[in-house]
A = this chain, B = another copy of it.
Amino acid sequence: MKKNARDAIVDAAVYLFNHKGFKGTSVRDISEKSGSNSANIAYYFGNKEGLLEYCFTAYYEGYLKEMEKAVAYLEDGAIICLKKTLERIIYYQFENSQLTRMIVREMSLDSQMVREIMSTYAMKEKYFFQNIFEYGFANGEFRQESSGYYLLQLKGLLTMPFLNTHYMTEVLYLLPQEKYFADKYLQELYSWVDGRMNSQQQGKPILTVSS
């Protein structure tokens, strides 16, 4: 029961941060929405900042765990490993779409907390990617281009559908909540890897989305 109360607080907070913004949400709002009293919120998270920090940490710990699972594929080559990594990330973000959206938006602010997250988690994420890139540069699978620009584009492609759910449904008429969307979008990321990074551009694509 205790764990459920904590999860309910987090879910309510993420929902409210996405609708009213972090600063526009009060502890009282979170208390009302989650059905927990504010003493409970204070017990688990200290204050609203502590709750946000918990969200960041939980998100990135889970995210990096998914990336780690894909590292084993490096012996099958950099392209396969990169695609497996993208697969893990897309489905993780898909499963945690509200949280992902909140995190991506909050990461664009200039706050002390964001700087700390950058210097730990975003750096770790970068090193995972860079490892794969360098493996692929060394064995000739990838075109020798700037890792920074590759990662910048990958991050843009990875985060766009989760940040802009309203744009997707109301302007593009796509349904980001459907598993079908995640599958199809992952295939687009694979095409990006094949078209942009793969040094053997004419070759057949390695690994396609199976579902």
Which applies to chain A's interface (DSSP): helix, strand, loop or mixed? helix
Task: Check B21 against A119 for contact (C-beta < 8 Å).
Answer: no
Give this chain's copy count: 2
Contacting B at CB under 8 A, from A1-31, are 18-24
A148 touches which one: B18, B126, B166, B173 (CB < 8 A)?
B173
A196 proximal to B (CB < 8 A): yes
Known: A171-B118, A172-B148. A107 touches B164 (CB 8 A): yes
Residues of B within 8 A of A111 (CB): 19
Q: Please tell me if the beta carbons of A160 and B164 are within 8 angstroms of each other in the complex.
A: no
Known contacts: A21-B22, A109-B19, A109-B21. The answer to whether A151 contacts B123 by CB under 8 A is: no
Within 8 A of B (CB), among A173-205: 173-174, 184-185, 188, 191-192, 195-196, 201-202
Is A139 on the interface with B (CB-CB < 8 A)? no
Residues of B within 8 A of A166 (CB): 107-108, 110, 114-115, 118
A107–B101 Cα distance when bound, in Å, is: 12
- A135 smallest CB distance to B (angstroms): 19
> What residues of B have a CB within 8 angstroms of the CB of A151 in the complex?
172
Find out whether the CB atom of B115 lies under 8 angstroms from the CB atom of A170: yes
B108 touches A170 (CB 8 A): no
Q: How far, in angstroms, from A26 to B181 measured CA to CA in the complex? A: 40
**Contacts A/B (CB < 8 Å), 23 sampled:** A19-B111, A20-B109, A21-B21, A21-B109, A23-B23, A101-B108, A105-B108, A107-B164, A108-B164, A115-B166, A118-B170, A119-B170, A122-B167, A122-B170, A126-B172, A148-B173, A149-B184, A152-B185, A153-B157, A160-B160, A191-B196, A195-B195, A202-B202
